[in-house]
Chains A and B, each alone.
Chain A
Amino acid sequence: MHEMNQLTTFWFWVIGGVKVLAVFTVVMLVVAYMTLAERRVSAFIQDRLGPNRVGPFGLLQPIADGLKNIIKEETMPGTSAKLYFVLGPALAIMPAVVTFAVIPFAAPLPTPVGTVDMIVADVPIGILYILALSSLAVYGIVLAGWASNNKYAFLGGLRASAQMISYEVALGLSVIAVLLLAGNVTLTEMVWQQQQLGLWFVFPLSLAFIFFVISALAETNRLPFDMPEAESELITGYHTEYSAIKFSMFFIAEYSHVLTASALMATLFFGGWDIPVWTGDDMFWHEGALIRGFDDAGAPIAATPSVLITLLTLGAFCTKTAFFVFLYIWIRWTLPRFRYDQVMHLGWKVLLPAALGYIVLIAGTMLVLDQLGVPFGLLYGLVLTGVSGVTTIAFFFFIDRDRVIAGAHGMGAVARRREASRALLARRAAANPDGSVS
C-alpha cells in the first residue's frame, strides 16, 4: 500500500509548477483542436467533409492556422485608442486561461514524494473564483469594442456586457442550487459530495442543470446567444477591427471559455472525474488523510490511490468534458441566433424567476429532509430527483403550453387558410340564410 501523505512544501512548489505547465499546455492544445472539431463537426452536420487536407484527417490544420495568424500582418486602426486596443485581447484571454486552474481533472495520484491532487490549485473559494474571473472576460470584450472606434465593434461590446450581466444572474442562481446540496464551494468537495450521494447532481438538480447549460451558452457568447459577434448584424462585433494574432487571442479566449464551461458542467452536475457506480475511485482529503468514505460507525475508510485509478478517472473526466464540448458545437450548428429582445426576455423574465423559485423549492425540500433526519445518501438524492423531475416537467409544460413557434412563413399560411375558410363560411351563410344543409 502506498504512503498516503501530503506533500512537503518543496515538492508542493515543484509539482505545482509542473501541473501549471502541463495543464496550460494541454488546455491550449485542446482549444486548438476544438477549433478543428468545430469545423469538422459543422461540416459533417452540413453533409460536407471539412478541413481534411493538412495532415491525416486534417489534424495539423490548427497548427497551420496558428502559424498563419502569427505571420499575418497586424492592422491597427488609425483612429483606435492604441493602448486599450492592445489591452483588449490580453484582458479577454487572461481570465479564460486561468479559470481552468480550480477544476479537478482526476483522482489524486500517488507518487514517491506524496499523493498529488490532480488539480492545479485547490483553492477554498473554488467556484466563486471561476465566477469572478470568467466575468472579467467581458472587460476585454467591452474594451476591444470601445477602443476599435468602430460602431459595429462598439455595439458588440455593449451587447456583450448587457448579455453577461443578464445571464450571470441565472448562472449564479443555478450554481447556488449546487452549493446548497454540496454544502461547499470547492470543486473537489463537490465531486466528493456527488460520490457520497451516489447520484450525480444532474438528477437531483435537473432544472438547475438545464438553466446552467443555457446560461453558460450565453456567458461564453456561443450561438444561439452570440449577440456580441452576430455576423449578420454586426460583421463580427467586437473583434471586427482585429487581425492576425490579436484576433486569434479572442478566438482562443472564446474556446477556452467553452472548454472551462464544459468542464464545469461535467464537474458540477456529472460527477467530475467520478466513474459512475464504482465506488473504488471515491477519494477525498479528510482531516489530513485521503479517505474513500465512512463506515457505518462514521469512521473514515482509507482510500487506495493508484496510477490506474488516476488514469481511469482522467478518462472519465475527459469523456464528460468532450461530450459537453460536442454539445456546444452541436447546438451552435443547429439553432439560429436569438433576436436581441428574446435574449433579454429569456434571461430576465424566464430564467431569473424560474431559477429563484427553484432554489426556494430545493432549499425547502432539503429542509424537510433534514428535519425528518434522512441521511445524506441515495434516498436523500432520490427524493430530490423526484421533486426536481416534477418541477422540470412542469416548467417545460408551462413554457411550452400553447406557445409553439412555427416559421413565420408557415404561420402566414395558417393565417391565410383560416382567413379563407372564414370567408367561405360567411359566403355560405349569406347564400343560405336559413342555415339548412342541402
Chain B
Amino acid sequence: MAISVKVMRRPEAGRTSYMRATLKGMSLTFKHLLRVKKVTLEYPEDQPDLHPRWRGTHRMEVHADGRPKCVACGLCPTVCPANCIRLVGGEDDQGNRYPIVYEIDEFRCIFCGMCQEVCPVEAIHVGQHFENAEYTRDRFVYDLDRLMEQDHPTTLLWDPSDPRSE
C-alpha cells in the first residue's frame, strides 16, 4: 500500500439523502446574505490599517539642514540579501562621510528590512507604504533624492522584549 492513501468513507449514492444538509446550508447562506457587515475593503476610498511593522517602500531620514543622515558606512549594501542597494560614498572637507550615489532598486528588494536593522545612524528605513505603481520600469530605481522625499511613516523595528509588538 502506498504511504499516503486516505480511504474516504462515503456512502454509496443509493444510501444518501441531502435534504437536511441542504436546508441547513440554505438557511446559513441566507443569513450571510442578510448580514450587513461585509469583509470587502473598498480600497481606494478606504485604506487598510497597516501593521506598525509593515515593511514597504524605503525612505531616507534627513537632518534638519536637509542633508541625508546616511554616513555611507556600506553596511546596508553588504547585508542586503537581494543586492538591491547601490552605494558610492564620499568624504567632505571636515572628514564627514556622505553618500554620493545611493540607489535602491525596489523591484529587486524583498522588503526584509535588514538595511533598516543594520543602519548605525538610523538613516535608511523601510516604511508603512505600498502604493508605488509607476508607468516605466526605470522609475522603480529610487535615487537618493527620491528616498529623501518619501514622507510615509517608517516601520517599527522588531523589539526582542516585545516580540509581537503589543
Contacts and interface: CB of A to CB of B under 8 A. Distances in A.
Interface string A242-285: 00000000000000000000000000000000000000000000
B38 A403 contact: no
Given A331-B26, A335-B25, A45 B33 contact: yes
A49 B43 CA distance: 12
B20 A404 contact: yes
Nearest to A44: B33
Nearest to A346: B13
B13 A330 contact: no
A432 to B, nearest CB: 32
Contact of B32 (A46, A49, A331, A339): A46
A398 to B, nearest CB: 9
B13 A41 contact: no
Contact of A396 (B19, B33, B37): B19
A189 B114 CA distance: 80
A400 interface: yes
Interface in B24-48: 25-26, 28-30, 32-33, 35, 37-40, 42
Nearest to B34: A44
Interface stretch (A152-160, A358-366, A408-416): A408-416
Contacts of A404: 17, 20-21
Interface string A319-334: 0000000000011011
A41 B33 contact: yes
B29 A45 contact: yes
Contacts of B33: 41, 44-45, 330
Interface residues of A, number: 30
B160 interface: no
B9 A411 contact: yes
Contacts of A396: 19
B104 to A, nearest CB: 34
Interface in B49-92: none
Nearest to A339: B13
Contact of B16 (A48, A49, A405): A405
Contacts of B42: 49
Contacts of B29: 45, 330, 333-334
A405 B9 contact: no
Given A48-B39, A411-B10, A412-B9, A403 B17 contact: yes
A412 B13 CA distance: 18
B10 A47 contact: no
A399 interface: yes
A331 B33 CA distance: 12
Contacts of B26: 330-331, 334
A73 interface: no
B40 A408 contact: no
B136 interface: no
Contacts of B35: 44, 47
Contact of B18 (A333, A341, A405): A405
Contacts of B11: 403, 405
A58 B133 CA distance: 26
B11 to A, nearest CB: 6
Given A330-B26, A335-B22, A47 B13 contact: no
Interface string A379-420: 000000000000000001001110111101001100100000
A346 B89 CA distance: 77
A25 interface: no
B3 interface: no
B137 interface: no
A72 interface: no
Given A41-B33, A334-B29, A415-B9, A349 B17 contact: no
A401 B20 CA distance: 11
A151 interface: no
B164 interface: no
Interface in A304-358: 330-331, 333-335, 339, 341-342, 345, 349
Given A48-B39, A48-B40, A330-B26, A399 B17 contact: yes
Given A333-B29, A335-B22, A400 B17 contact: yes
Interface of B: 8-11, 13-22, 25-26, 28-30, 32-33, 35, 37-40, 42
